């Protein structure tokens, strides 16, 4: 069923009895041309673009839980293209352009809201770094505007500008940055893939990868064996476990990132704001909740929940930036399992096993990448050649040292990003 305003009206007038499930619930077939492991944002978008761009439809997505139950439904939904390094900047630029046409393409409202993102800076050195970043964004063809303190005040009058600890010098404004409804992105891609014939198979955990003579031949799952000519691993925080089924050891550590949401409030924060000191960022959801977060807890974790010290740190950072939020009550906090790579940048590549492909290392920034990653991974899986926008996301960069992409300049080692 195509969604439209007319459809909403017609259904509303007929008791909403005509709505149908947005995707089928098929049993797994014995064999597929391509199987994607992981029904998160990246797995679903990969399946969608394999069908849409490459005309491949004998495809299954295997998800051990339910679609969108992983990080894609747990993130703070920031979508932006303000990366600076060669490799990252073209990729995120590519992804943002896909976002901008996504709702029409999917015929699905993902509530993509380009409300503008402002990265605050608090010292001369930080301003210089942001001027450089802004110039790189502009050279890439994206948008960046340098705001001084007064410019920030106009957009964000409620910040504490005069604080002695981290006075606000200004901000780098990225008007095309913003947010989207995370679940809707998973659902929209799921529906789009299903409508093109992709089998979305939930409650189906992959437990083994069959390899014969260096070539992948299929998978063992909780719902039986499935043969496959090509397999894509797209399991975010579980990448190490699934890759180990193919005998691989990855340059990945899984860490917990927490997020928080307050009770619903009248509109107070129009943009996405990130604090340049004491890692903290915030936006307001369409339901009115303030959605905010900070750093990783900085220890390996699969618990999908964090500990109090980081919750306190985030709250303190928020209070020092915008004391007004102290009146809001936090409703919920949660955590997601992040696939951290040593240099903080992702991997979209083939593996040494014929027919086995790997997509991981998204760290805490993979939501904005959902369209770009699926698009580029589908290209790689269908054509066996990297998409130009993602050709730097090589797995071997850690072994060779060529092409490491360390945006923060902190070093290519675990636990530094």
Residues in contact with ligand FAD by the rule CB under 6 A: 37-43, 62-65, 69-72, 74-78, 205-206, 234-238, 242, 257-259, 293, 336, 338, 362, 364-368
Q: Which CB sits closer to ligand FAD, 42 or 94? A: 42
If contact means CB under 5 to 8 A according to the sort of partner, which of another protein, ligand FAD, none does residue 41 touch? ligand FAD
Alpha carbon separation from 248 to 58, 110, 172, 345, 359 (Å, rounded)? 27, 36, 41, 19, 14
Site string for another protein, 10-49 (x = CB under 8 A): ----------------------------------------
d(CA 340, CA 329): 31
Q: Which stretch binds another protein (CB under 8 A): 67-75, 138-146, 225-233, 248-256?
A: 248-256
Residue with tokens 């719902």: 223
- Candidate residues 56, 250, 257, 291; the one interacting with another protein per rule CB under 8 A: 250
Query: 147 and 118 in contact (C-beta within 8 Å)?
Result: yes
If contact means CB under 5 to 8 A according to the sort of partner, which of another protein, ligand FAD, none does residue 252 touch? another protein
The DSSP symbol for 324 reads G
Query: 387 and 379 in contact (C-beta within 8 Å)?
Result: yes
Q: Which stretch binds another protein (CB under 8 A): 114-122, 214-222, 236-244, 324-332?
A: 236-244
Residues of this chain, 289-308, that bind another protein according to CB under 8 A? 298-303, 307
Task: Kindly state the smallest distance separating residue 313's Cβ from another protein, in Å.
Answer: 10
- Cβ count within 10 A of residue 330: 17
For 371, list phi and psi in degrees, rounded to 5. -65, -45
Residues of this chain, 383-402, that bind another protein according to CB under 8 A? 398-399
Strands (DSSP E) found in 301-370: 330-340, 347-350, 356-360
Q: Do β-strands 78-79 and 199-201 pair in parallel, antiparallel, or remain unpaired? A: unpaired
**Footprint on this chain of another protein (rule: CB under 8 A):** 238, 240-241, 244, 249-254, 298-303, 307, 309, 342, 398-399, 412-415
């Amino acid at each position: 069923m195509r969604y439209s305003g007319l459809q909403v009206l017609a259904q509303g007038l007929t008791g909403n009895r005509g709505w149908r499930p947005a995707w089928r619930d098929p049993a797994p077939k014995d064999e597929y041309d391509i199987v994607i492991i992981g029904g998160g944002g990246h797995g679903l978008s990969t399946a969608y673009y394999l069908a849409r761009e490459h005309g491949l439809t004998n495809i299954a997505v295997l998800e051990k839980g339910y679609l969108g139950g992983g990080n894609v439904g747990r993130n703070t939904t920031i979508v932006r293209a303000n990366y600076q390094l060669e490799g990252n900047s073209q990729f995120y630029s590519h992804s943002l352009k896909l976002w901008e046409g996504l709702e029409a393409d999917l015929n699905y409202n993902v509530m993509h809201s380009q409300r503008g993102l402002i990265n605050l800076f608090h010292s001369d050195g930080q301003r210089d770094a942001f001027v450089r970043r802004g110039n790189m964004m502009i050279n890439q063809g994206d948008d960046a505007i340098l705001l001084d303190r007064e410019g920030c005040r106009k957009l964000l009058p409620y910040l504490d500008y005069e604080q002695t600890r981290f006075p606000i010098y200004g901000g780098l404004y990225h008007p095309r940055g913003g947010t989207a409804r995370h679940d809707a992105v998973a659902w929209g891609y799921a529906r789009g893939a299903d409508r093109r014939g992709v089998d979305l198979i939930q409650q189906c955990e992959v437990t083994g990868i069959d390899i014969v003579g260096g070539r992948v031949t299929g998978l063992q799952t909780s719902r039986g064996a499935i043969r496959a000519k090509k397999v894509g691993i797209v399991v975010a925080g579980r990448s190490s476990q699934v890759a180990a089924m193919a005998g691989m050891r990855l340059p990945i550590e899984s860490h917990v990132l927490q997020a928080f949401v307050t009770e619903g409030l009248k509109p107070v924060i129009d943009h996405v704001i990130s604090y340049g000191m004491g890692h903290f960022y915030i936006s307001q959801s369409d339901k009115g909740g303030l959605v905010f977060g900070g750093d990783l807890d900085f220890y390996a974790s699969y618990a999908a929940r964090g500990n109090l010290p980081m919750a306190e740190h985030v709250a303190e950072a928020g209070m020092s930036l915008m004391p007004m939020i102290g009146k809001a009550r936090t409703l919920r906090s949660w955590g997601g399992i992040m696939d951290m790579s040593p240099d903080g940048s992702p991997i979209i590549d083939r593996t040494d096993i014929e027919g086995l492909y790997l997509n991981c290392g998204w760290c805490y920034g993979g939501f904005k990448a959902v369209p770009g990653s699926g698009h580029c991974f589908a290209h790689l899986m269908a054509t066996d050649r990297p998409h130009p926008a993602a050709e730097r996301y090589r797995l071997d960069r850690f072994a060779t040292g060529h092409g490491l992409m360390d945006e923060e300049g902190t070093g290519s080692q675990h636990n530094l990003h």
